[in-house]
Structure 1
């Protein structure tokens, strides 16, 4: 008799928990952004990022900002994009980031082509806008990421690999890890870009983003060494994202309140 009551009691708890979890999942689904909203956010966010970075490069031709000024604009541009629409799509704005997060199953694979396409749209529209607005006042070609003639292909690959790895580790630490400070996500990621641009900008342009390089290349028609800026950031981001898996810990499971009307205890999920 006691065993039967225990079985019924356990079944009741499991049933209550399953129902509550189902309601919670349904509630989250109703209030989550749609794929269309995520796609639009990626276009807008990438546009802001590239508009800021390329705009700074154009201004530097007329009014010297120095590498520090360009780095600050680039970092702040990413910070603005992250806080404005990052909560809608996750704030990737970078094909390398999207692919790297998908590689560790932080992003659904079906979203990868959608995100990459939207990022390319934003990255192409931004320099195109600048080209139209600047007319002949500046050469849009200065927005294309290139490395010095004294820099070999291998050295350029290493530079882009390292800088993108630093960016990706920052993203994984503050944005995808439950232990990270979410309030400072945009600031931390923006600072990582600022540091990378100051150090690597004079050598390779510190792209860290295939869209950042491809967009201006499409608008200007200059595709020299573009393969370096596509392959290296992706390799760097995937490597850093995979490395961070060894630093992660599982999020602790919070006890669910009991709704069985029998006791006042909290029950852990079954």
Structure 2
């Protein structure tokens, strides 16, 4: 009889290497939601000490930091709507979408669960999203502001003619702008994972569909809109060189 060969397991370093993008998305989304929802909790506890502007700055700054931190590892999607939008226009493989989305939602759930565990008792406030007015109003707002956000992301992340070094600043600033004016209207989620995590932790699902459908539709629209405008793939320096020779 031929002896059975021992089953070989891939080395831990190889497993980690192949899962690095998912680990990066997990960490980045966790820190984003922990910081943003933490700011909301502090603002409630301290009677509007942080304020709407402060909360918007925290969300935008957290996005900017994570883009620069893990952008080179996973692309720093930190948002299921962004992942799906990139895949819809063939800028990201569909086979990787489920893993990214699961990592992002899991991270958001863990982050809000951590906040609820730390800030228990009188500090326990629901930090999820539910439409302040009608569902339709919030749906329209979430769709539009996520369209705007994804339009910017697609430009700075996929077009060589854009200034890639400033991608984090551009994306973070867009989040700040959207959150400042849309926060009181819809909550300015722009991210299904950001809304799903708190909903699961607090078991509050009222209007959650708005924050899944709106950002997803808006992100797909924003990605396709910019790709429609991108009528040439040449870098800016080649375009300028060609014009100077005419």
C-alpha displacement of 1:34: 4.5
> Deviation per CA, 1:71-104, whole angstroms, max 9, x where unpaired?
0001001111111112100010000000000000
**Which residue is equivalent to 1:224?**
206
* Structure possessing the higher radius of gyration over alpha carbons: 1
TM-score by length of 2: 0.86
> Deviation per CA, 1:199-253, whole angstroms, max 9, x where unpaired?
110111100000000001101110001001001100000011111111212136x
**Which residue is equivalent to 1:245?**
227
Cα distance in 2 for residues equivalent to 1:120 and 1:138: 23
User: Is 1:146 aligned to residue 130 of structure 2?
Assistant: yes
- RMSD (Å), alpha carbons: 1.6
Cα distance in 2 for residues equivalent to 1:147 and 1:197: 15
**Which residue is equivalent to 1:18?**
none
SS in 1 for 2:76: coil
Structure 1 unaligned residues grouped into runs of 5+: 1-32, 255-270
**Which residue is equivalent to 2:86?**
101
TM-score by length of 1: 0.78
Contact 1:45 1:86 in 2 (8 A): no
**Which residue is equivalent to 1:7?**
none
- Of residues 46, 58, 69, the one that matches 1:84 is 69
Contact 2:137 2:186 in 1 (8 A): no
**Which residue is equivalent to 2:121?**
136
Contact 1:174 1:181 in 2 (8 A): yes
Structure 2 unaligned residues grouped into runs of 5+: 1-15, 238-246
Cα distance in 2 for residues equivalent to 1:147 and 1:198: 16
User: Is 1:44 aligned to residue 27 of structure 2?
Assistant: yes
